[in-house]
Structure 1
Amino acid sequence: MTPLQQFIDAYPRLFVLTGAGCSTDSGIPDYRDRDGQWKRAPPVNYGVFMGDASTRRRYWARSMIGWRRFGCALPNGTHHALARLEQRGQVELLVTQNVDRLHQRAGSEQVVDLHGRLDEVRCMGCDWRLPRGAFQQWLVKCNPNWAQLDAADAPDGDADLVGHDFTQFEVPPCPLCGGIVKPDVVFFGESVPRDRVTIATRAWQAADAVLVVGSSLMVYSGYRFVDAAARAGKPVAAVTLGRTRADPLLTLKVDAPCQEALAFL
């Protein structure tokens, strides 16, 4: 029996926190290297997206290309392993920093999407909403000359579309109020909704231990739960490749691919 199996068997109620490393085997790139540093330019900033039309055009042009594969991504062994852990009755709550909804597609039900979900868009003025797939059709209709372009995948449905003039790309406004349409995800510089933080906090407090899967914890929104739980005396195990921000707090560190480490489930 591996140390990770022993850890999971020892604690009947786990608070599970997941990150981008869970979804790389589904073909979705992650953001950071083994040392926790950015592999590319950081994601779009909320204030810049809201305040600059050219940034929005660039974002949506790249997203129109990236969504074609991101929207078809399927759960991998990591997602299925964690769903199985819930079926065994061992998951107090799964909090994911991912926006791909792959945990839910694998069968997990006790899930909080800490940073929202990319499969839906919303108006920042009146809160009108639409499935991302339907918005994709709208983008393509408005920009038929862009529909045949392709580019390498980037994290969270982005694509490395470079060398193009985005000034002519048309971003549809909200059909109800004409407001700015944005993916229903938490951008950098934007706050995580308070109710999600409250639910997650109550869950780690009720859990016996914390299991981190596929996250470097470099982003404070996820790290805060691990930090608080460790300070409260909860054991913390992490399964991820490379360094995490919480390394000094860990009871157990498994430096291995998530799917491989959790295969026993």
Structure 2
Amino acid sequence: MHPERLQQLVDLLRGRRLAVLTGAGCSTESGIPDYRGEGTRRRARNPIQYRAFVTDAAVRARYWARSTLGWPRFAKARPNPGHYALARLEQAGLLVGLITQNVDRLHHRAGSRRVLELHGSLATVRCLTCGHAIDRDAFQQWLLELNPGWSAHAAELAPDGDADLPDELTTRFRVPDCPRCGGILKPDVVFFGENVPRERVEAARRIVAAADVLLVAGSSLAVYSGYRFVLEAARQRKPIALVNLGPTRGDALATLRLEGRTGEVLPRLAAALTGRAFPERHVTEGLRRAG
């Protein structure tokens, strides 16, 4: 990260109301893999598809079998310096709102309050028929009770709280139905092939409309659900700043692009815009957890 490039970013954002859009790159430094990052590009991985989940019981069993192994590590992830920096900007009154494509609740844990979870949150499981909600930790215990000894399987954490596991091990995994109506239980997140609820999209658009500039942090913008807000900001002729490792789909529309890790760039940005040194404990704790 070049100091002069960071100064250009500070100059672009100073004195302006910010809308922030974050992606998986904000959470990789907390130990949560992404679909397109440095580590995952080396191995092909097909994310769960909405239609397959709702129509095929075997697909649901495979998903929950893997999720049961991945959830404990996912739930233990902690915010990194990038999350804390965005919370600091909000506390200083500089953020109109934060739109996140992540489903890990790390922005909330860092202290952010004006958060719109575009794709939902893995912290809740919801019935597709009656809407009954179950806390994911409670659901985890239910799954383990139905599948004794399952937690003994070893698996590598994968994106979105999933885990890598051979399909042949998941065929006998038992998945409960909704305790109220017997419907299908699904994590309260938007799967690939599923639409983001219209009211959520409109709320995100209002955040962009109320801001003077859009800052995109840690997203390749490969998925349209996030990229649409870059298009919206461009249509409104608002400056767009991108902070990411690697190219993004929105590079051609960017006013300024800075190559770097969000956990390194955002704390320096927050310190410059707020005039306050970033808490060293957040930096050291975040970097230790990321390592």
Query: Counterparts of 1:195 and 1:70 in 2: how far apart (Å)?
Result: 28
Match of 1:112 among 98, 113, 116: 116
Q: 1:62·1:160 contact (CA, 8 Å) conserved in 2?
A: yes
Residue 5 of structure 1 and its aligned partner are, at CA, apart by 1.9
Query: Counterparts of 1:24 and 1:165 in 2: how far apart (Å)?
Result: 28
Give the equivalent residue in structure 2 for 1:68. 72
Q: What fraction of aligned residue pairs are identical, expressed as a percent?
A: 56
Work out whether 1:122 is the aligned partner of 2:126: yes
Residue 7 of structure 1 and its aligned partner are, at CA, apart by 2.1
Q: 1:33·1:39 contact (CA, 8 Å) conserved in 2?
A: no
Query: Counterparts of 2:108 and 2:119 in 1: how far apart (Å)?
Result: 15
Q: TM-score, normalised by structure 2?
A: 0.87
Unmatched segments (≥5 aa) in structure 1: none
Give the equivalent residue in structure 1 for 2:8. 3
Give the equivalent residue in structure 2 for 1:28. 32
**For residues 163-201 of structure 1, what are the alpha-carbon distances to aligned partners after superposition, in whole Å with 9 as ceiling and x for unaligned?**
633221000111111110000000011110111111111
Q: 1:66·1:157 contact (CA, 8 Å) conserved in 2?
A: yes
**For residues 219-240 of structure 1, what are the alpha-carbon distances to aligned partners after superposition, in whole Å with 9 as ceiling and x for unaligned?**
0001001111112100000100
Query: Counterparts of 1:161 and 1:111 in 2: how far apart (Å)?
Result: 33
Query: Counterparts of 2:132 and 2:37 in 1: how far apart (Å)?
Result: 37
Q: 1:118·1:185 contact (CA, 8 Å) conserved in 2?
A: yes
Three-state SS of the structure 2 residue aligned to 1:144 is coil
Give the equivalent residue in structure 2 for 1:205. 209
Give the equivalent residue in structure 2 for 1:232. 236
Q: 1:32·1:39 contact (CA, 8 Å) conserved in 2?
A: no
Three-state SS of the structure 2 residue aligned to 1:168 is coil
**For residues 60-83 of structure 1, what are the alpha-carbon distances to aligned partners after superposition, in whole Å with 9 as ceiling and x for unaligned?**
000000001001111110100000
Matched AA of 2:131: D
Give the equivalent residue in structure 1 for 2:221. 217
Three-state SS of the structure 1 residue aligned to 2:156 is coil
Three-state SS of the structure 1 residue aligned to 2:168 is coil
Q: 1:22·1:79 contact (CA, 8 Å) conserved in 2?
A: yes
**For residues 92-126 of structure 1, what are the alpha-carbon distances to aligned partners after superposition, in whole Å with 9 as ceiling and x for unaligned?**
11000000011011110101000000000001011
Give the equivalent residue in structure 1 for 2:283. none
Unmatched segments (≥5 aa) in structure 2: 1-5, 271-291
Closer, same or farther in 2 for the Cα pair 1:247/1:37, shift >3 Å?
farther
Q: 2:25·2:37 contact (CA, 8 Å) conserved in 1?
A: no
Work out whether 1:86 is the aligned partner of 2:90: yes
Q: TM-score, normalised by structure 1?
A: 0.96
Query: Counterparts of 2:58 and 2:103 in 1: how far apart (Å)?
Result: 24
Matched AA of 1:230: A
Paired residues, what number? 263
Matched AA of 2:10: Q
Q: How does 1:132-211 map to 2 (within 5 A)?
A: 132-162=136-166, 164-211=168-215
Residue 37 of structure 1 and its aligned partner are, at CA, apart by 6.6
Query: Counterparts of 2:227 and 2:47 in 1: how far apart (Å)?
Result: 18
Residue 26 of structure 1 and its aligned partner are, at CA, apart by 0.7
